[in-house]
Structure 1
Amino acid sequence: MQQRERFGSRLGFILISAGCAIGLGNVWRFPYIVGQNGGAAFVLIYLFFLVVLGLPIMVMEFSVGRASQKSVASSFRALEPKGSKWHWFGYFAMAGNYLLMMFYTTIAGWMLAYLFKMARGEFNGLSAGQVQAAFQGLQADPAAQILWMLLVVLLGFGICSLGLRNGVEKITKVMMTCLLAILGILAVHSILLPGASEGLRFYLMPDFGKMAQSGAGNVVFAAMGQAFFTLSIGIGSMAIFGTYIDKERSLMGESLNIMILDTCVAFVAGLIIFPACSAFNVQPDSGPNLIFITLPNVFNGMEGGALWGSLFFIFMSFAALSTVVAVFENILSFAMDLWGWSRRKAALINILLVAVLSVPCALGPNLLGGFTPFGPGSSVLDLEDFIVSNNLLPLGALVYLFFCVSRYGWGWDQFIAEADAGRGLKFPRWARKYVTYVLPIIVLYILIQGYLDKFLFH
């Protein structure tokens, strides 16, 4: 068996794992969900669920990875009791990683396209309607959609093919450092805009009356869902980084560091968006359009808007690419684990495979526009996102949970021994009953509520 590569530093592990978690969910989904659910009160509930829901499952995923020294393709097979069938989950998890990239590559492509458009000044002087038309024009152009998607696939696998230390770790460190620096600069600029104070108040001063308007149950569910989805847990896309870290540090402490970094990025993204929206009198709850229609209009109205807009889309591109690189690393490790392929061979074959699999989503808004799986206005992207977010992530989280607490799986004692190996924060032993009986019910609730929202209350 070939020796697994190791990260050059602990910082590399934390930044790359955080890079996997820090994706468009933080900087795209988080602000508009905060906007729709009453602002600061929602943020407090979200932080609570992040700790009680996201953290334990992340520790479990890292533990399975580190103990098995294999990707999710083979990790359950290495740890399961003889004769059990836990390893079947590996196939679903692998499918989940591919499915996630089948639509994520297209969205990451939009970020690159917008970075290019902003830098060229294409939005200068456009009216709000023309900015909207520019986004619709990008989606309606099959060649542009495929071109930007292919660029993302080539960039991502290109970085991974250079190796764990020389490619993934080196380049992700640079991307994440730039991402954090740009984030800080944009936030300060946004807070200092005239008229920004209203947006800051909405975002930072809890008003439980606003929460009641959205319906307390809806707000709690939205907070649970966001806490769950932001960390990319459930399909083993995190577990792979557990295999690259030695046993010097406990996994609870490392998971907490990653979660804090992930949360800080989401929080500061809000400090960019809410003050800017209030300064330019724009609604912050405009859903997915926020990034591609609302914000370009905001940058248009700013002094030096093309510069600020370009910086914002560099930041967004890095957030998207850090996730792409992390999941591509996982995809490469499947082939390396299962068939012993070299990294280069796995990269070349997967460039072709992922590019072909990503075509339906890229063509969803144009040539495949007639395919509306959830009724008018829905597309291939919605279907793929639904399969991953509403099915594979919660089901996968349940598998990790039961595997780590059940005597029919890996078992509590082995899990705790692995999670607590090394210096740092330990997994609380009193939490055993909670993760065995309560946490699975919360995850099941998220799964069922996702279906009800999609099909009954839609």
Structure 2
Amino acid sequence: MKERETFGSRLGFILVSAGCAIGLGNVWKFPYMTGKYGGAAFVLIYLVFLVVLGLPILVSEFAVGRASRKSTAKAFHELEPEGSNFHKYSYMGMIGNYVLMMFYTMVAGWTLYYGYVMATGKLQGADSAQITEFFGNFQKSTGTMTFWMVLAVFLAFGICSLGLQNGVERITKVMMLCLLGLIVVLAVHSATLDGAVEGIKFYLIPNFENMKEAGIGNVIFGAMSQAFFTLSIGIGAMEIFGSYMKKDLTLAGESLSILVLDTFVALMAGMIIIPACFAFNVEPGAGPGLVFITLPNVFNQMMGGRLWGALFFLFMACAALSTVVAVFENILSFAIDLWGWSRKKAVMVNIVLVIILSMPAILGFGPWSGIQILGEGTNIMDLEDFIVSNNILPLGSVLFVLFCASKRGWGWKNFLKEANTGKGVKFPAGIRMYMLWVIPVVVSVIYLKGYYDMFKPKGMEYLVPWMIIGVAMLALVVWIAFGHSKSKKDRS
């Protein structure tokens, strides 16, 4: 049996894992979520969720991966006691990875395109209205969007085809170090813009009136889903890197390093975009297009802005591609673990599959724009994001925690032994009940409240069927975790 690949260095593991977490969730989604949900109050709640929910779940994913030496497709099969249902989550985890890539590859293509646009000066001298119109026209151009999505897919799978150390680790390290250096420079510049002070106040000083206006339930659920989305926890995207880890360091210490790095980039991205919104009179809650409308304005006012703009979108593309590479690595591992495919065969098949699956999101801005399943004004990308961010990520996270803390799963003693193997910060042994009951209950309550707050304003014709779907999804998780076991054997 071929020995499992491992990372060549600790820095490689941290930067690749952080690269999975640090992506569009930080530099694209976090700033507009902050604007949409009231600024600093949202940031505060988001940080709380990162620590009290995100950290234990991240450690759980790494532990499952390192102990099993398998991807999500087979990890639960390796570790669960006889008769357990947890292996059935494997299908949900695999689906989650593919659905995430159905829109993430498209937006990664946006970042590549804007790097080209800024480098060639296509937006030089354009005012806010012209930049907004340019982005709108781009989204309606199916051919252009498809080309850049396909380019992103080929680049990411090309990196994965080189293997873990020679491809994923070596190239992601370079991308991440470049991104970290540039984002600090841009944040400092944005904070010194005329009119940026009000934006800094909005971003850093909590105003709970803003939170009430957005809806307290919406803000809390948005902060929770963003914590899951930015860490890429719940679908096994982190679990796969746990399977490549060595045993010399504890998982809590490594997880803290990744959490700090991820949070730093998210906060710096907000410092680039939110003050710039106020400086250039752009609505901070403008949605997914915010970064593609606001930042070109910033660069147009900056000395050497064409160069800085090209570099920012290039390294923003690096952030996006680092996540795409990480998830693609997980997707490839499914085929390798399940069917024994070679890496080359898995790459070739999935290139075609992912390109096909990415087309609905692109068509949703053009010919299929009339498909508005989540309500008027939404599109296919919104639906795909909702499936992943609002459903599979939080519910999958609950399953990882229950698997590690429950006797019906892997068992607490086994989890602690794996998490605390090596040198570094030890995972606390006394929080089993917190992980077994508090995390699942809190996530479940906020999960259902989020459904209610999201669909109630759209009317009962939306609320009732979607609430039924939400309850059904939660019931599925309960069945997987606590369903009748054919054997009394456990691993407590």
Q: TM-score range by the shorter chain?
A: over 0.9
Q: Which residue of structure 1 aligns with residue 158 of structure 2? A: 158
Structure 1: runs of 5 or more not aligned: none
Paired with 1:202 and 1:376, the residues of 2 have a C-alpha distance of 29
Paired with 2:116 and 2:272, the residues of 1 have a C-alpha distance of 21
The AA in structure 1 aligned to 2:237 is S
Paired with 1:243 and 1:342, the residues of 2 have a C-alpha distance of 18
Q: Which residue of structure 2 aligns with residue 347 of structure 1? A: 347
Q: CA deviation at 1:457?
A: 2.9
Q: CA deviation at 1:373?
A: 1.5
Q: Which residue of structure 1 aligns with residue 95 of structure 2? A: 95
Q: CA deviation at 1:165?
A: 0.5
Q: CA deviation at 1:207?
A: 4.0
The alignment status of 1:202 with 2:208, answered yes or no, reads no
> 1:159, 1:168 within 8 Å by CA — same for their partners in 2?
yes
> 1:104, 1:324 within 8 Å by CA — same for their partners in 2?
yes
| Cα displacement string for residues 202-234 of structure 1 (whole angstroms, at most 9, x for unaligned residues) | 323344454455455543333323223221111
TM-score (norm 1): 0.96
Q: CA deviation at 1:87?
A: 1.3
Paired with 2:345 and 2:212, the residues of 1 have a C-alpha distance of 55
Q: Which residue of structure 1 aligns with residue 337 of structure 2? A: 337
Q: Which residue of structure 2 aligns with residue 406 of structure 1? A: 406
Between 175-184 and 427-436, report the one with greater CA deviation.
427-436
Instruction: Give the superposed CA RMSD.
Output: 1.7
> 2:22, 2:231 within 8 Å by CA — same for their partners in 1?
yes
Between 340-349 and 281-290, report the one with greater CA deviation.
281-290
Q: Which residue of structure 2 aligns with residue 289 of structure 1? A: 289
Q: CA deviation at 1:105?
A: 0.6
Q: Which residue of structure 1 aligns with residue 125 of structure 2? A: 125
Q: Which residue of structure 2 aligns with residue 184 of structure 1? A: 184
Paired with 1:96 and 1:207, the residues of 2 have a C-alpha distance of 35
Q: CA deviation at 1:262?
A: 0.3
The AA in structure 2 aligned to 1:180 is L
Q: CA deviation at 1:274?
A: 2.5
| Cα displacement string for residues 57-107 of structure 1 (whole angstroms, at most 9, x for unaligned residues) | 111111111100000000000011123232111111111111111111111
Q: Aligned pair in 2 of structure 1 residues 453, 319: CA closer, same or farther (>3 Å)? A: farther
Give the SS at the match of 1:125: coil
Q: Aligned pair in 2 of structure 1 residues 371, 275: CA closer, same or farther (>3 Å)? A: closer
Q: Aligned pair in 2 of structure 1 residues 198, 379: CA closer, same or farther (>3 Å)? A: closer
| Cα displacement string for residues 93-144 of structure 1 (whole angstroms, at most 9, x for unaligned residues) | 1111111111111111111111111111111222322212211211111111
Paired with 1:94 and 1:255, the residues of 2 have a C-alpha distance of 23
The AA in structure 1 aligned to 2:84 is S
> 2:217, 2:450 within 8 Å by CA — same for their partners in 1?
no
Give the SS at the match of 2:246: coil
TM-score (norm 2): 0.89
Q: Aligned pair in 2 of structure 1 residues 119, 50: CA closer, same or farther (>3 Å)? A: same
The AA in structure 1 aligned to 2:12 is G
Q: Which residue of structure 1 aligns with residue 397 of structure 2? A: 397
Paired with 1:412 and 1:390, the residues of 2 have a C-alpha distance of 27
| Cα displacement string for residues 291-321 of structure 1 (whole angstroms, at most 9, x for unaligned residues) | 1223223333333332232222123211110
Q: Aligned pair in 2 of structure 1 residues 45, 375: CA closer, same or farther (>3 Å)? A: closer
Q: How does 1:79-94 map to 2 (within 5 A)?
A: 79-94=79-94
The AA in structure 2 aligned to 1:352 is V
> 2:221, 2:450 within 8 Å by CA — same for their partners in 1?
no
> 2:32, 2:288 within 8 Å by CA — same for their partners in 1?
yes
Q: Which residue of structure 2 aligns with residue 114 of structure 1? A: 114
Q: Which residue of structure 2 aligns with residue 145 of structure 1? A: 145
Q: Which residue of structure 2 aligns with residue 424 of structure 1? A: 424
Paired with 1:227 and 1:206, the residues of 2 have a C-alpha distance of 18
The AA in structure 2 aligned to 1:72 is T
Give the aligned length. 458
Q: Which residue of structure 1 aligns with residue 262 of structure 2? A: 262
Q: How does 1:1-150 map to 2 (within 5 A)?
A: 1-150=1-150
